[in-house]
Amino acid sequence: MIPVSEMPLLGATFDGPGVPTPLCEALLESRQRWQDLVLLSADLAFETDAWGRIVFIAPDPVLGWPAGALLGKPAQTLLATPVAEGGFDPFRPGLRAHHRRVWLRRGDGSSVCLCVNTSPMLDGSGGLLGSRGLGMDITEDDAFNARIAAGLRRAELVDHILYSVRQEVLAPRMIQAALSAILRALGAESAAVIETPLDRPSPEGIIRHIAGPEAPMAVSAGLGMIASGETQVGATLALDGRPVLACGCDTRLDHGAALLVWRPPGGRSFDADEQALLAAAAGIVHMALDHESVQREMVRQARTDPLTGLYNRRAFLEELDRRVERLEQENLPGTLMFVDLDNFKALNDRHGHEAGDEALRGVTALLRATFRPTDLLARLGGDEFAIWLDGADELAAAERAEMLRLRGPRTLAEIADGAPEELTLSIGIATHWPGMAEDIDSLLHRADQTMYEVKRSGRGHWRVARSGHG
């Protein structure tokens, strides 16, 4: 602060025609009292003349400036945002302001936010001499309030996302609702859940859910950032110029996942608040993905045999009905095979149920190795299996049956070691021909009866059921 006694010519600022010396002395005395008082509670005190030049400023230094270096300078030079660019000027002569926020420049070039109060200074006849004001540094308060405002905004947006999710019952629709809400909240082009391998993070993944158009480069950029392990949530730029925001979102059950959001090429980059919003929204998506995984696992368990992992009877018959209908439309045949494990009861009686379970798992492995991934495999119950071959006739099925006849005893020999009889496979084959109007029950009956004919005639071989084709 520059003491009044060391401010030569300050009174001269007000000298001129019509300004008496006693008034200057009164101003100086008033200024000293005012200065001592306001600096007890203010971070800035100033006066300007009628032309907006600084004639008094305290303390010293002030905002990182030597006070003497500012005297006589236009006060507008302290504004962080010029008036021409929309900034507020608290130094304007004659201005009366109360609790106005303004950003000023510090001596080091940084900015400080002040809450200012100003009033005009008038002479005895009401003429304008300049302005007087004081300010409080609220930079930290302003930043704190900004953080609170951003937090409230995020909370409001997260509540909206959660509300959108709650309107749905099925997990896939819950996730789709969440993505649509996130897309709108962030002003993005697209939002997506990308499935990734848990055991080997990779910049490649499968789009599992998406709201908006696909963008392969954005997906690759986002997953590359997640795979690097450098950050759980962050922003990057795709090769095609799309700003990308990514967040890991692994589920607890069966897969890894990432939540990605992107804007069109050349769009605005994602800021820290938007990154925080995506991190909060990822928790909701994570919950929905876990829900989806649980639903999927429940469906899988309801449709599969727990010992072998093959379709159970109910799931097999449901899928068989759909496939037969499709093959009818495509005018293609399909073939059903019933496979029964011979001498299974004797194995159980001799070696116990653990050996029997091992034999059933051995048959399952043999079936998986013999048939195509697109063929239907099922354990109907006990030691009975079923296979459906799309687009195959009885000749193609017979080739597979012969492979089973030969490989079966060799595959099961170690399990059957010490059993009274060899473990073999009895197989019945029935082909469904398009246009024959044969229902599923009739097809199942033909395959089943043919398999039992094989068992009655010695077991361990295969036979094709008679049909009306031709």
Residue-by-residue DSSP string for 352-380: -HHHHHHHHHHHHHHHHHHS-TTSEEEEE
Q: Widest CA span of the chain, in angstroms?
A: 135
CB 274 within 8 A of CB 307: no
As a whole number, mean pLDDT of residues 245-256 equals 73
DSSP 44-105: EEEEEETTSBEEEEESSSBTTB-HHHHTTSBGGGGBSS-GGGT---TT-TT--EEEEEEEEE
Integer Cα distance of 126 and 97 in angstroms: 19
Position 420 scores a pLDDT of 62
Integer Cα distance of 346 and 439 in angstroms: 36
Give the least confident one: 65-69, 245-249, 319-323, 326-330. Answer: 245-249
Model confidence at 7, pLDDT cuts 50, 70, 90, reads: very low
Integer Cα distance of 327 and 390 in angstroms: 8
In terms of DSSP bridges, do strands 425-432 and 462-464 run parallel, antiparallel, or are they unpaired? Answer: parallel
Give the least confident one: 23-27, 190-194, 307-311, 431-435. Answer: 23-27
Position 5 scores a pLDDT of 39
Model confidence at 363, pLDDT cuts 50, 70, 90, reads: very high
Instruction: Check pLDDT > 80 for residue 165.
Output: no
Could you tell me what percent of the chain has a pLDDT over 70?
82
Sheet with 334-341, edge to edge strand ranges: 376-381, 384-390, 334-341, 425-432, 462-464
Model confidence at 298, pLDDT cuts 50, 70, 90, reads: confident
The sign one gets for the Cα dihedral 79, 85, 87, 89 is positive
CB 105 within 8 A of CB 80: yes
As a whole number, mean pLDDT of residues 432-452 equals 90
The helix (H) or strand (E) run that includes residue 116 is: strand 111-122
The helix (H) or strand (E) run that includes residue 11 is: none
CA 261 distance to own-chain centroid:
7
Q: Tell me: the pLDDT tens digits for 375-429?
A: 999 999 899 999 999 999 999 999 999 999 999 888 888 877 766 678 899 999 9
The sign one gets for the Cα dihedral 29, 34, 37, 38 is negative
Closest CA relative to residue 347, chosen from 363, 371, 366: 363
Domains of the chain: 4-137 (3.30.450.20), 144-302 (3.30.450.40), 313-464 (3.30.70.270)
Model confidence at 254, pLDDT cuts 50, 70, 90, reads: low
302: tokens are 């309801």
Instruction: Check pLDDT > 80 for residue 299.
Output: no
Mean pLDDT over all residues of the chain? 82
Position 1 scores a pLDDT of 42
CB 41 within 8 A of CB 120: no
More confident residue, 37 or 109: 109
Could you tell me what percent of the chain has a pLDDT over 90?
31
350: tokens are 């001799």
DSSP 406-428: HHHHHHHTTTTTT-SS---EEEE
Position 421 scores a pLDDT of 76
As a whole number, mean pLDDT of residues 168-190 equals 85
CB 461 within 8 A of CB 454: yes
In terms of DSSP bridges, do strands 334-341 and 206-211 run parallel, antiparallel, or are they unpaired? Answer: unpaired
Position 13 scores a pLDDT of 45
